[in-house]
């Protein structure tokens, strides 16, 4: 499969009164056509900022993409002007935001917000767009579509709003769908239905998905390929089965160990010791060293590079420096 999205050495920084925050620091990743790639990690590791950088939604003066390339379908998104990017965003690349209540316009009806991308990108008439909007509401599993189209966001439940966000995102049949924590704050049954919807639309159009989550259960269910981020950097990546069965980085092992297992009695649920470091205090080192049970002297003074340790698995860890496989 040919890569649809190719991010090379992306760095996105934020200037604050206290200093510069390297929210995304030299990140490279690939998403193939028809593939689901999951980015996983704790809050604040750079997952969402990576997605916002792809969408061109990091705005100055505080935030800025300071380096790298974001190749999409043969074009570098960072070299496009606002009008060119606007024709791609919402049509070829769509995003489901983490909080649907704050992402939808509270003064416009659901129908109006569904109609807008259809008119803007597909050049539909308002009459045809409204008919398609009703169909989309039905396709995402919401009954009384006509009534819902005339409702406002505050009149719908969280699960219904997330379905509406999916309907808006897939309305123009995007090549790439970015889903930022699409199941957060939803109960387990609704979570499963949302994931089923994403799979359904992916299979129907061979759509690629970049899924951002901290839920390893979602990763196991949805991902073809997994990227683990920590403090703005990728620390491990690989195919989902290999990464779950043979995690290399101590942080990845800690994440998997902290996941509760159904049917297994545990007196205390494991948690990774310590806290994510302050992004303003980072120095050349492995950023995970003060939380790592396998920390060595070199980890505290030198940053490990992401290198291949197997055919389709990479890790940034000094434990594997001498076991590097050059592929």
SS3 annotation, 79-145: HCCHHHHHHHECCCEEEECCCHHHHCCCCCCHHHHHHHHHHHHHCCCHHHHHHHHHHHHHHCCCCCH
Q: What is the rounded CA–CA span in Å between residue 103 and residue 52?
A: 14
Q: What are the pLDDT digits (tens) for 168-207?
A: 999 999 999 999 998 877 788 888 888 999 999 999 999 9
Judge if 290 and 193 occupy the same domain. Answer: yes
In a domain, 201, yes or no: yes
Q: What are the pLDDT digits (tens) for 12-21?
A: 999 999 999 9
**Least confident stretch, 74-83, 95-104, 203-212:** 95-104
Judge if 200 and 304 occupy the same domain. Answer: yes
Buried b (16+ CB within 10 A) or exposed e, 61-73: eebebeebebbbb
Query: Does residue 326 have a pLDDT over 70?
Result: no
**Domain end (from 126, 151, 173):** 173
Q: What is the rounded CA–CA span in Å between residue 296 and residue 321?
A: 12
In a domain, 184, yes or no: yes
Judge if 215 and 315 occupy the same domain. Answer: yes
Q: Which helix (H) or strand (E) holds 241?
A: helix 240-245
Judge if 305 and 274 occupy the same domain. Answer: yes
User: Own/partner pairs for 183-186, CB < 8 Å, 24+ apart?
Assistant: 183/213, 183/215, 183/218, 184/98, 184/99, 185/158, 186/158, 186/159, 186/162
State the total domains in the chain: 2
Boundaries of domain holding 228: 3-92+174-260+269-323
In a domain, 298, yes or no: yes
Q: What is the rounded CA–CA span in Å between residue 220 and residue 240?
A: 7
- Mean predicted confidence (pLDDT) in 229-245: 96
In a domain, 98, yes or no: no
Judge if 135 and 68 occupy the same domain. Answer: no
In a domain, 99, yes or no: no
In a domain, 228, yes or no: yes
- Residue 297 has what DSSP assignment? G
Predicted pLDDT at 262: 65
Q: Is 187 helix (H, G, I), strand (E, B) or coil?
A: coil
β-sheet with 75-76: strand ranges across: 19-32, 3-16, 63-72, 75-76
Closest CA to 20 of 82, 66, 86, 77: 66
Q: What is the rounded CA–CA span in Å between residue 16 and residue 299?
A: 28
Angle at CA 72, nearest 5°, toward 66 and 77? 35
Query: Does residue 210 have a pLDDT over 90?
Result: yes
């Amino acid at each position: 499969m040919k890569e649809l999205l190719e991010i090379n050495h992306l760095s996105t920084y934020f200037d604050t009164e206290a200093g510069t925050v390297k929210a995304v620091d030299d990140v490279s990743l690939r998403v193939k056509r028809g593939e689901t790639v999951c980015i996983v990690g704790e809050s604040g590791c750079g997952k969402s900022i990576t997605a916002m950088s792809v969408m061109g939604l990091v705005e100055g003066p505080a935030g800025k993409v300071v380096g790298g390339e974001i190749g999409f379908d043969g074009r570098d998104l960072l070299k496009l002007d606002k009008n060119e990017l606007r024709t791609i965003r919402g049509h070829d690349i769509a995003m489901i935001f983490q909080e649907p209540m704050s992402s939808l316009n509270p003064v416009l009806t659901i129908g109006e917000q569904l109609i807008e991308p259809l008119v803007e990108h597909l050049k539909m008439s308002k009459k045809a767009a409204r008919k398609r909007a009703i169909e989309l509401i039905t396709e995402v599993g919401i009954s009384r579509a006509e009534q819902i189209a005339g409702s406002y966001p505050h009149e719908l439940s969280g699960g219904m709003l997330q379905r509406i966000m999916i309907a808006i995102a897939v309305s123009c049949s995007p090549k790439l769908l970015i889903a930022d924590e699409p199941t957060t704050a939803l109960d387990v049954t609704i979570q499963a239905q949302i994931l089923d919807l994403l799979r359904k639309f992916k299979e129907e159009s061979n759509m690629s998905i970049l899924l951002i989550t901290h839920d390893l259960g979602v990763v196991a269910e949805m991902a073809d390929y997994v990227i683990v981020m920590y403090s703005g950097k990728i620390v491990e990546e690989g195919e989902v089965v290999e990464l779950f069965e043979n995690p290399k980085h101590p942080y990845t092992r800690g994440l998997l160990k902290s996941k509760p297992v159904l049917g297994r009695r545990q007196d205390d649920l494991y948690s990774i010791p310590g806290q994510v470091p302050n992004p303003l205090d980072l120095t050349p080192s492995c950023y995970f060293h003060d939380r790592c049970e396998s920390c060595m002297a070199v980890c505290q003074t030198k940053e490990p590079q992401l290198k291949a340790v197997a055919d389709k698995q990479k890790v940034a860890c000094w434990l594997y420096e001498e076991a590097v496989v050059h592929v």
